Structure 1
């Protein structure tokens, strides 16, 4: 019984003894502070590069043209579902005698930024399409030139407060970004865990592969030495006078 206890104590002393610190050991120890150091920059980079556009509310409207050719834009009433600006309707003149000239639809958009948690939300410019009488196809609202008469008419309607509140708010807050500090912390914790786990697994795999290669090289060298060959180039050293170096490659042969 005493012998068994002594063997257990010897085993404990063996496994608890300090081991020689290798390069791989130092790399594994440095993985923790390194990942902590780069986590915040990684989350910030993901917040800038990863975004998912999300459509908001769609608002429609119509174009009418004055007798002098000036284009006027008007928005539909969001609370009046009977109002429509489909191209097949509203031909003719409105209540003020202006001729119908086309229709448009605008959609508010924002971008969810960050992964795996949404760390910020950025308001995007209005998106939509413009359909003018005489135009062969619908025009992309964002692709309109600054001096395009349709864009100028819509901007004038927004500035004159004739646009719905949702459109005015989106137009005024295009460059605004809402940050979520709690989600930043949560995303940073998730990214730190992923980085630390990934780096640790990569180091363990690299150490395993390197060790296997080194053992294979050592095994080959021992095998060549037993056969009297140079462990580096395989030159036959049998029958030669003893020398520390191979006459073929100049490497240590014993």
Structure 2
């Protein structure tokens, strides 16, 4: 890379010269296209990579918001000087609460991500052809979020077990490893509750209505007896 400044200036000078010459002489058009080939390749790669980069950014922001909620809670807990809790419980609560929030508040968190997205989904004309909003809606759907959470836990559990079977600790101590594993067990139990809840026909409002009717029927029966 010796004399790179001179080479770079020479390159741009030749590109500029061929740009003006190719307007008058067609033979220079091929030479001009060859000279700007690196820029053409970069532009194509950049154009293709934009939606992937933005979607990855949305995904990172989504999970960052999920972890932000319990983290703020613990900061407030420590600020109020409540009895201290150990790191294992802290890891367990933050992980469990974060993944549960990612499912329970999926629509709200996705709305925040889209509202404050650096891609400016509603105003950016340059990104409008990509339809980033639709792609992000699909990526951050409830089913996909659940799937990603299971993948993340799967990778973590494989790593933790690999170290534990070697009598080692993946994190600072085996207690933290256990906290991570227990948070996954908690999430599985939560996921099963949600899945079964969708199949259950029980509705609190309907139950209250039936109880009111039963009570009124009993009161009406007592009134008839007294008469």
Q: Same fold (TM over 0.5)?
A: no
Looking at secondary structure, tell me which structure has more helix per residue. Answer: 2
Q: How high is the TM-score relative to the length of structure 2? A: 0.23
Looking at secondary structure, tell me which structure has more strand per residue. Answer: 1
Q: How high is the TM-score relative to the length of structure 1? A: 0.21
